[in-house]
Each structure stands twice: as structure tokens, then as C-alpha cells.
Homo-oligomer: A and B are copies of this chain.
């Protein structure tokens, strides 16, 4: 990735960091590879097809991480279990999947996500969703859709219809893939399809135990306190999440304009303590960072610093130039000096082609008068500016460029 792209990525990363840190989340970092077993235990044996797994020189089976949650939960169980709850963690890094690269899907891509460990309350579910929502808002993305569900509603419905646990997963799969013909093979198929399209109050009529619906309504009440209202999301029971470790309230965020790969965030309430022998409650989400960038496209507003290029004329001026550079850099400006011993014409042409905003020309005359000849590379104007005003001069004129 080239500097123009990295500048955008770091700007979005900084925004996401600021949001999650303001909510009290602290960053953790886990290794790029782990024992393959960890990922198998979390996601089942079929994950092996999708990951980069190999044997190291010591004969250990290791794999490049396909996501962070398993690693963060391992870190929690190995070194943070005794910490007071709730424990709020976030991460940012690259993950790896062995699949055919396509737009918005690469073999190495980036996840930004959080884990909220400990609390299992409507407030905790609501914070989890509100945090993801606030993150999206802060990136500046306008065209997006938040979809919320509670997996326990469908679990309970299928329970009441006498469907055993293993078969529930198959039904969830049909719902996810919108295979309505196959759903219709169940006696309750038509009713289930109706339920999927109903609002929460109507869904209660189809359930003996309406507890899971009330749980979700409680979460939505807290979301309202965050200023996230009915108009800001959809209730969508077919939001079933691909991974089968989710168990309660879940959500997804889609971005417009991304086509089939429109999901930029997914998360919810999950259970991952059991593979470590605990029953700790956890909620979290992960952003597909590269897709967020794709979705933002040209919308992204970058605060660019003025970039200046200094051309010394005659060796005598160099002490003056290096002094000026030091001051300007300490003031937070970006400044380069001609390094290739080119004449003024060639150096100015470089400054133009390399996209500098200002060129500083400094010769005997400037030194005697304690000034700098500042050339605005966009307008072509050149002006003699007193040394002490150069910083504010370029800042002001940069805003007008």
C-alpha cells in the first residue's frame, strides 16, 4: 500500500481508536500466528480449509490468525482472568484467510474490533451496539444500515416446535441463505417465514415464552438513551451471523455501494469461555477495516499538513536553512530539503511533480534580510516572508489552496 492509501487508513484507524478509548476500551495485541488447535476449537474442523496453517521447524502446527476473538480470549484466560469486570479490550491488526481474492476480500486483511468481557445485561449489549454505531458515524460514512436481532428468539421458537439443537443450525443456515422452499418443508414453515418478517410485538404472539423478545426490547430501550432510535436500525431476525458461537443479541452493519460484500461490521453476544473451561460472558464486534475504507471512498476528509520544500541557493545559506527546517518541524510542519544538488529549475520541477504545497527559496538576499522567498506551488505566487512569520504564512495560505 502506497503513502496516499496509508494516510487514509491511519486517519480512519485514529478515529476508531478515539471512539473506543473514549468508551474506556484498552488495546491488546496478540501474535500473528497461534497454535492451529485454538482456531479449530473455536470454529470447528472445517475452518482448516480457510486458514493458512503450517508446521514450523519444531514440528508445531501453527496458523496465521483468521480473526482476533479466539486469541484475545486466550490472552484473557492466560493473563487477565483476575482483572475486575467489566474488562474492555480492543484490537487492530491483519488477519489471514486462504480464499480467492476479490474486491473487498483479500488474503491478508485488517480487523478492528472490541471485546467486552464480564457483564451480561441489556446495558452491555446496548453499549456494544452503540459503540459500533458511533465508530461508523465518526468515520464519516453516511450510507449504512444497522440490523439487530436476538438469536434466542428463533432458538426459542424452534425449541417450542420440538426441533433438536443440531437441526436448528440447519434451519438457521436456510434462513441465512433465504432458502424459503426448504423452510416450507417444515409444517411451521409458512409461520416461520411470517415471523421473520414481523415486528417484535407481533412475534410475541407466535411464542409461548416471549422472554427473548423482551430482552431485545430492553436493549433497544438503552440504545434510545444513546440517541439511537427506531429510524436508525432494522430489526432483522434473519441476521444469524456466520459463526456458530454467537448466542444472544447480534447485529450487523452494511454499507451501501459495496455490492455483495456489503457487510462492514458484525458482532454480538457470544460464548467462548467453554474452550478455556470458564463460562465468562462476552460481547464484541469486528470491523472489516479494508471494506470500511472501500465504502468511504472519496468521502474521507483528511486534515493534510502543508508540505514544504526548501531549496538552498549557494552553500553559504545552508546553516540558515537547517536552522529553519528544525524550527518548522518542531512547529509540526512537514519540510524537506533538496538532497540531490540540483539547480533551482530542476528542484522546483521536482517540488511540483512530488506534490509539495510550498517551495522555500533561500539565498544571500534572504539571509541578509532574515526572510524566506515562499513560492505557492498551487497558485505560482512568490512572496518574501519574514522568518518569524513563515509558519503562520504557510498555514494560512494552505487553507486557501
Contact = CB atoms under 8 A, between A and B. Distances in A.
Given A57-B98, A334-B24, A118 B340 contact: yes
B6 A29 contact: yes
Contacts of A84: 350, 353-354
A107 B101 CA distance: 28
Contacts of A28: 1-3, 6
A225 B322 contact: yes
B350 A22 contact: no
A277 interface: no
Given A57-B98, A86-B339, A333-B22, A226 B108 contact: no
A121 B339 contact: yes
A89 interface: yes
Given A84-B354, A307-B24, A3 B89 contact: yes
Interface residues of A, number: 72
Contacts of A9: 29
Interface string A60-88: 00001000000000010001100111101
A187 to B, nearest CB: 41
A293 to B, nearest CB: 12
Given A96-B32, A226-B326, A339-B86, A27 B52 contact: no
Contacts of A52: 56
7 closest Cβ pairs, A-B complex? A3-B26, A225-B322, A24-B336, A54-B54, A22-B329, A6-B27, A119-B339
Contacts of A194: none
A2 B88 CA distance: 11
A340 B52 CA distance: 39
Contact of A98 (B24, B56, B86): B56
A222 B318 CA distance: 9
A341 interface: yes
Interface of A: 1-4, 6-7, 9-10, 18-19, 21-24, 26-33, 52, 54-57, 64, 75, 79-80, 83-86, 88-89, 94, 96, 98, 108, 116, 118-119, 121, 123-124, 127, 222, 225-227, 305, 307, 318-319, 321-322, 326, 329, 332-337, 339-341, 350, 353-354
Contacts of A116: 339
A227 to B, nearest CB: 7
A21 B334 contact: yes
B31 A6 contact: no
A121 B29 contact: no
A112 B27 CA distance: 19
Given A326-B226, A340-B119, A335 B24 contact: yes
B23 A329 contact: yes
Contacts of A353: 84
Given A23-B336, A225-B318, 12 more contacts: A3-B27, A6-B27, A7-B26, A24-B335, A31-B108, A32-B94, A32-B96, A118-B339, A121-B341, A123-B341, A124-B340, A222-B318
A134 B329 CA distance: 11
Contacts of A89: 3
Given A22-B335, A32-B94, A339-B123, A326 B227 contact: yes
Nearest to A58: B98
A340 B86 contact: yes
11 contacts: A1-B29, A6-B26, A9-B29, A22-B333, A23-B336, A32-B96, A84-B353, A88-B336, A127-B337, A222-B318, A225-B321
